[in-house]
Amino acid sequence: MRKKDHGKPENDEQLWEIVTRQVNPLKSARYAGATEKAAHSHKPVAPRKIVGRASAPVMGSSPTPSPKATPIDLRDGDHAGLDRTTRRKLSRGNLPVEARLDLHGHNAQQAETRLRSFIQQSIILGYRCVLVITGKGVRGEGVLRRHVPLWLKQPPLDNVVLAISDATPKDGGAGAIYVMLRRTRSPK
């Protein structure tokens, strides 16, 4: 048996009118006018697109693979495990540099081998921030300057490198890179 409808609103707009009449507005000037705009706006808001994440497959959708997530730009310090304060300290050279690797005079193959070895050794020693000196190259177009960030994004180094940033002038400027490494937890 159904109960009688005692003055209940017939649609969402009437219900919303009843709710907004019962709400007290905020006193802050920061929110002044926001309630009026929100109450009278009936335009649907487009959902925000999240950059850098692949969408989940939908049942019955086409078998084409979804686009890959955009790679993280380590030079900007973008990474889920690095907060803004630490990222700022890294880019300003305010973190203590615990080890340095100078790649001057090495060809690309030698430099990549030395870089991998250096980063792995730094992880074993528990270092968090290291400096890799690449040099600027001729007219600022150095091979190592271009390749070192790419090598740091590839396995096996991608799992241990949190972020990178160009060094400050006191540590080599554009010819050097700060590398922030993941913290290693000792087994208990």
Q: Does domain 74-181 have CATH number 1.10.510.10?
A: no
**Strands lying side by side in the sheet with 129-133:** 99-102, 129-133, 176-181, 161-166
pLDDT at 166 over 80: yes
Alpha-carbon distance values, 176 to 11, 48, 101 (Å): 64, 37, 10
Instruction: Indicate the pLDDT class of residue 22, thresholds 50, 70 and 90.
Output: confident
* pLDDT confidence band for 53 (50 / 70 / 90): very low
Q: If DSSP states are collapsed to H, E and C, what string results for 25-73?
A: CCCCHHHCCHHHHHHHCCCCCCCCCCCCCCCCCCCCCCCCCCCCCCCCC
Element housing 151 (H / E): helix 143-153
The residue-averaged pLDDT of 67-90 equals 64
Indicate the pLDDT class of residue 69, thresholds 50, 70 and 90: very low
CA angle 138, 141, 144 (to 5 degrees): 95
171-182, pLDDT tens digit by residue? 988 889 999 998
DSSP assignment of 102-140 equals E-TT--HHHHHHHHHHHHHHHHHTT-SEEEEE----GGG
Question: Which helix H or strand E contains 78, and what residues bound it?
Answer: none
Dig out the tokens for 62 from the structure.
């086409």
Domain assignments of the chain as residue spans, ordered by start = 74-181
Encode pLDDT of 4-14 as tens digits: 555 666 788 88
